[in-house]
Amino acid sequence: MQRVFSGAQPTGNLHLGNYLGAIRNWVTLQNDFECIYCVVDLHAITVWQEPTELRSNIRELAASMIASGIDPEKHILFNQSQVSAHAELAWIFNCVARMGWLNRMTQFKEKAGKHRENASLGLYAYPSLMAADILAYKATHVPVGEDQKQHLELTRDIAIKFNNDFKVDGFFPTPEPLILGPATRVMSLRDGTKKMSKSDTSDMARINMTDDADTLAKKIRKAKTDAEPLPSEAEGLEGRPEARNLVTIYAALLDKPVADVLAEHGGIQFSGFKQALTDVVVEKLAPITEEMARLKNDTAYIDATLSKGAERANAIAQPILREVKEVVGFLNG
Ligand code: AQP
C-alpha cells in the first residue's frame, strides 16, 4: 500500500487554514493509504517556544487531529521528538542538501525577516528535517497546503541526490505532493492577499479551531470585504481577494463548488452572506472544538496514544535508518 506522511507544528493558534488545507484532507486519505501523521515539535522549536506552552500545544494539536477524525488505532499518530530517527536522518540530509538549495526557500526568507543572522540554524535547515520526516518512512505521498510545495520539492531533490551520490537507485522514493481540496490556501480575514497564519499578530485575522460561536460570529462580521454584492459567477471574484476567500471557505466547508455557492448567493450583500457563513462555520467546527476540549483535558489518553504511535513509527523508521547507515558507511551496532 502507498504510504502518506504529513505533520503539523504544535505552535498554537491552530486555525481554519490548517484544518481545510491539511487535517481534513488527512482524514479522507485514511481510506486509501497507510497514513503516518506527526506532531512536529522539532520543527516548532526552530522558533522560540515557551516550554510549558509547547507541551500544552503538543497535546492540543494531537487532540485536534483525533477530534477531526484521525484514527490513531488504524493509522499512526505520534510526536516527532519521540522518534530519534528524524533527527539522525536530518543530520545525514544536512550533508546531502546544498546551501544553494536552502538559500532559495521563501519560507525561511519570510520567517527570518530582515535580520537573517539572528534566525536559528534550525530554521534554515528546516526543509532538511522535513525531508527526514518523510523519507524515514519512505513515504510516497505527502498532503500539504500550497505553502509547503517548495519544501517538498527540496525533499525530492534530497532523495534523488542521496540515491545518486551513494549509487542506490530507487532507495528513497521521490514523494508526490497531494495538494487537495478547494481550500489549499485560506487567506487572512483582515487581508485577502496574506495567508491565514498562526503567527499573525491579529487574532481577528484568523478563525481558530478553539473559537466559540460568539467569537466566530464577531470575527466573520468584522472580516474585511469590499462594498460590492456577491457576484453570480466566479469571474466576478477577480481582483476581490477578500470576497474570494469568504466564498471559498463557505464552499469548502460545505463541499460544494464555488460556482454553486455563487449561483445560490449571487447578488446579496456581504452582511447577509456573512451570516450564512457564520452558521456554516459554527455548524462544522463546534463538534470538533468540543471534542478537542474534552480530549485535551484527558492528558493520560493523549500521552498514551502518542507514545503508542511513537513505538509503531519507530518500528518502521529504525530498519530504514539502519539501511541508510549501511549505505552511508557507518557501523551499525
Ligand atoms: N492558510 C492556510 N491555508 C491552507 N493550508 C494551510 N496550512 C497552513 N496554513 C494554511 C497547512 O497546514 C499544515 C500544517 O502546517 P504547520 O503546522 O506547519 O503550520 P504552518 O504552515 O506553520 O502554519 P501557519 O499558520 O502558516 O504558521 P506560521 O504563522 O508559523 O507560518 C501544512 O500542510 C500547511 O500547508
pLDDT digits (tens, 9 = 90+) for 149-196: 999 999 999 999 999 999 999 999 999 999 888 888 999 999 999 999
Among 55-64, 226-235, 303-312, which stretch is predicted with the lowest mean pLDDT? Answer: 226-235
Q: Give catalytic residue positions.
A: 111, 195, 198
Query: Quick one: cell of 286?
Result: 463546534
Q: 210-294 sits in which CATH class?
A: mainly alpha
Rounded mean pLDDT of 43-49?
97
What pLDDT, on a 0 to 100 scale, did the predictor assign at position 137?
98
Rounded mean pLDDT of 59-83?
97
Count of C-beta atoms within a 10 Å radius of residue 88: 18
Query: Which residue owns the Cα nearest ligand 1 atom 8?
Result: 18
pLDDT: which is higher, 227 or 187: 187
CB of residue 185 inside a 6 A radius of ligand 1: yes
pLDDT of 146 > 90? The answer is no
Distances in Å between the Cα of 302 and the Cα atoms of 26, 212, 295 are 19, 23, 7
- H-only helix segments in the chain: 16-18, 24-29, 41-44, 51-68, 85-94, 99-103, 106-112, 121-135, 149-165, 213-221, 241-254, 258-265, 270-297, 299-328
Q: In angstroms, what is the span from residue 266 Cα to ligand 1's centroid?
A: 30
Whole-angstrom distance, CA of residue 267 vs CA of residue 315: 57
CB of residue 144 inside a 6 A radius of ligand 1: yes
CB of residue 22 inside a 6 A radius of ligand 1: yes
CB of residue 198 inside a 6 A radius of ligand 1: yes
Do 224 and 244 form a contact (C-beta atoms < 8 A)? no
Rounded mean pLDDT of 32-49?
97
Q: In angstroms, what is the span from residue 270 Cα to ligand 1's centroid?
A: 27
Q: In angstroms, what is the span from residue 9 Cα to ligand 1's centroid?
A: 8
What pLDDT, on a 0 to 100 scale, did the predictor assign at position 48?
96
pLDDT band at residue 12 under the 50/70/90 scheme: very high
Domain(s) labelled CATH 1.10.240.10 in the chain stretch across 210-294
Q: What is the ipTM of this complex?
A: 0.96
Q: What does CATH list as the number for 3-184+298-328? A: 3.40.50.620
Rounded mean pLDDT of 90-107?
97
Q: In angstroms, what is the span from residue 22 Cα to ligand 1's centroid?
A: 8
What pLDDT, on a 0 to 100 scale, did the predictor assign at position 1?
66
Domain(s) labelled CATH 3.40.50.620 in the chain stretch across 3-184+298-328
Percent of the chain with pLDDT over 90: 93
Q: How many CA atoms lie within 13 A of 266 on its CB side?
A: 14
Q: Is 105 labelled a binding residue?
A: no
3 state SS of 209: coil
Residues in CB range of 294: below 8 A, 6 or more apart: none
The ligand 1 atom nearest the CA atom of 195:
1
Q: In angstroms, what is the span from residue 93 Cα to ligand 1's centroid?
A: 23
Rounded mean pLDDT of 35-50?
98
CB of residue 195 inside a 6 A radius of ligand 1: yes
Ligand 1 pocket test target in 39, 43, 147, 206 with most atoms within 8 Å of CB: 147
What pLDDT, on a 0 to 100 scale, did the predictor assign at position 237?
94
What pLDDT, on a 0 to 100 scale, did the predictor assign at position 295?
95
Residues in CB range of 102: below 8 A, 6 or more apart: 108, 124, 125, 127, 128, 154
Which residue type, as a one-letter code, is found at position 296?
Answer: K
Rounded mean pLDDT of 288-298?
94
Prediction pTM value: 0.94
Query: Which residue owns the Cα nearest ligand 1 atom 12?
Result: 18
